[in-house]
Amino acid sequence: MVSLTLIDQPKHHSDFKFGFEAKELPIAEPTASQTLVKVQAAAFNHRDLWILRNMYPGIVMGSTLGSDGVGIVVKNGSQSSSFEVGQRVLINPGVNWESDERGPEGDFKILGLLPAIGTFSESLVTESRELVPCPEHLSTAEAAALPLAGLTAYRALFTKGKVKKGDYVLITGIGGGVALFAMQFAVAVGAHVYVSSGSQEKIEQAKALGAEGGINYKDPKCIAELKKMLNGNQISAIIDGAGGPLYTQYPKVMRTGGIIVNYGQTAGVEGVSFTMGHVIKNIDLCGSTMGSRREFQEMVAFVDKHKIKPVVSRVWQGLTNENVAEAIEMMKNHQQFGKVVIEINGSASPQLHKL
C-alpha cells in the first residue's frame, strides 16, 4: 500500500524543515480488537504544515501523515463485530481520550505522528472503538473533511463555549476548517454568528452560509464596527484560532460572564493578552484542543441530525507527491475556503483490497 511518509529532506518545499514522500509500505493485519480500513479520502490540517516546519512537538521521522479520513471496512479482528465489511466509517483523529470534559485521561495522541497511525494511506488499521459510522448525506470528500476540524469546533463551541440558541457568537479567521465548522454548528443551533477575516470575499462567503455579519481584522476600527453591527447586543462566546492583538479589545463587545475559547494562535506564538478588562467583566479564557471519543461521536451525530455538509475548497485525485505538494502550497498561501482533500480510493470497496 502507498502511504505519505514524513522524511528529513524537504524535497518539494525548500522553505520547510521536513518533507514527505509517497512510499510503498506493508499492509498490517488487524488484531482481535482492531479493524482494517481501506481509506477513501483524507484531508489536510494546518497541523500538517506545522509538522513540516518543525513547529510541532514530538515529531518522528517515518510517521504516516494525516489526521482526517473516511474509509470502508475491509476486515475485522476476532473481537470486532461492530462494523460490517463494506460499511463506510469515519476515523477518530485522536486516541487515549475517552470522555472526561476536562481533558484526556491517558497519553493523548493526534493521528499523523508515530506512535499513532496516519490517514494519508491506502489502508490503515485502528482500534475498532475509534470508528464511527459515516453519515449517509456526506460525499467522500465532505466526510474526509469532517473529523479533526469538526471535533475541534464542536468541543470549542459547545463543551467550552457553552453556545446555545439565541447567543451572539464571534468566530475568528473564517475560511479555515475549524472556523467554518464552528460557524455551521452555531447557525444550526440558532445562534447569531459574526465572523472575522482578512478577506472581504471570505466574509461574504460566510454570510452566504448563515453568518449575520463580519469584520476585517486588518481594519484598526474593526471592533468598533462589530459593536455597531451588534446594535446593542453583546457577544457571549468568541471561538478563536488566531490569538493576536485584538484580545485586549474583546471585552468592549462581550457580555459579563462571556467566554473566549482559544484553539490555536496562528497570528503568532507570543500568547494572548488577558487584562483587567477581562477580569472585571468575569470573562473566561479557555484553551481547547481536539476532543474526546465521546465528543467525536456526539459531533458526528450532530452533523447527521442537522445534515451539515462540510465546506471543501478543493479535491485532488490520487495520493501522489505532486498532488500533496500542490495541496500544501494552497494551504501555505491561505488560498483555501474550507478543507483541502485528497481522494485516495474514492470508489473503494472491500473487493478492491488484496490482503
Q: Which tens digits make up the pLDDT trace of 277-319?
A: 999 999 999 999 999 999 999 999 999 999 999 999 999 999 9
- Kindly give, in sequence order, each residue whose CB lies less than 8 Å from that of residue 124, ignoring residues fewer than 6 positions away: 28, 36, 37, 39, 64, 69, 71, 91, 117, 118
pLDDT tens digits, residue range 10-48? 887 778 999 999 999 998 899 999 999 999 999 999 899
Mean pLDDT value of segment 260-274:
86
- Going by pLDDT thresholds of 50, 70 and 90, the confidence category of residue 234 is very high
User: Are both 344 and 249 inside the same structural domain?
Assistant: no
Provide mean pLDDT across the span 88-99: 97
Mean pLDDT of 206-221: 96
Weakest mean pLDDT among 59-73, 199-213, 329-343: 329-343
Q: Would you place residue 132 in the very low, low, confident or very high pLDDT band (cuts 50, 70, 90)?
A: very high
pLDDT at 142 over 80: yes
How buried is residue 9: exposed, middle or buried, by Cβ count under 10 Å (0-12/13-18/19+)? exposed
- For residues 109 and 350, the model is more confident at 109
Average pLDDT, stretch 234-245?
Answer: 94
180 and 263 share one domain: yes
Q: Is residue 225 assigned to a domain?
A: yes
pLDDT at position 80, please? Answer: 72
Q: Which domain holds residue 13?
A: 2-146+310-352
Q: Determine which of 29-38, 83-92, 265-274 has the lowest per-residue pLDDT on average.
A: 265-274
| Boundary (domain end) residue, out of 255, 287, 319 | 287
For the domain that residue 232 is a member of, what is the CATH number? 3.90.180.10
Q: What global pTM score does this model have?
A: 0.92
Report the pLDDT value the prediction gives residue 11, as an integer from 0 to 100: 81
Q: Does 274 share its domain with 165? A: yes
Do 138 and 156 sit in the same domain of this protein? no
Please check whether residue 304 lies inside any domain of the structure: no
Does residue 9 have a pLDDT over 60?
yes
Q: Are 40 and 348 in contact (CB under 8 A)?
A: yes
Q: Is residue 293 part of a domain?
A: no
Q: What pLDDT was estimated at residue 354?
A: 30
User: What is the average pLDDT value for the chain, to the nearest integer?
Assistant: 93
Interval 284-294: pLDDT, tens: 999 999 999 99
* Residue 346 confidence (pLDDT): 58
**pLDDT bucket at 355, cuts 50 / 70 / 90:** very low
Average confidence (pLDDT) over 309-332:
94
Provide the domain count of the chain. 2
Residues 135 and 180 in one domain: no
Q: CA–CA separation, 23 vs 21, rounded Å? A: 6
Q: Are residues 11 and 124 in the same domain?
A: yes
Verify that 169 and 183 share a domain, yes or no.
yes
Name residue 282's amino acid.
N
Instruction: Kindly state whether residues 192 and 315 are assigned to the same domain.
Output: no
For the cut 80, the answer to whether the pLDDT of residue 208 exceeds it is yes
Least reliable range by pLDDT among 14-23, 114-123, 226-235: 14-23
- 26 falls within a domain: yes
pLDDT tier at 351 (50, 70, 90 boundaries)?
very low
Average pLDDT over residues 200-204: 94
Mean of the pLDDT values across residues 103-126?
A: 96
Residue 19 lies in a domain: yes
User: What per-residue confidence (pLDDT) applies to 334?
Assistant: 84
Say if residue 281 is in the same domain as residue 205.
yes
Q: What is the dihedral of CA 204, 260, 300, 291, to 10 degrees?
A: 140
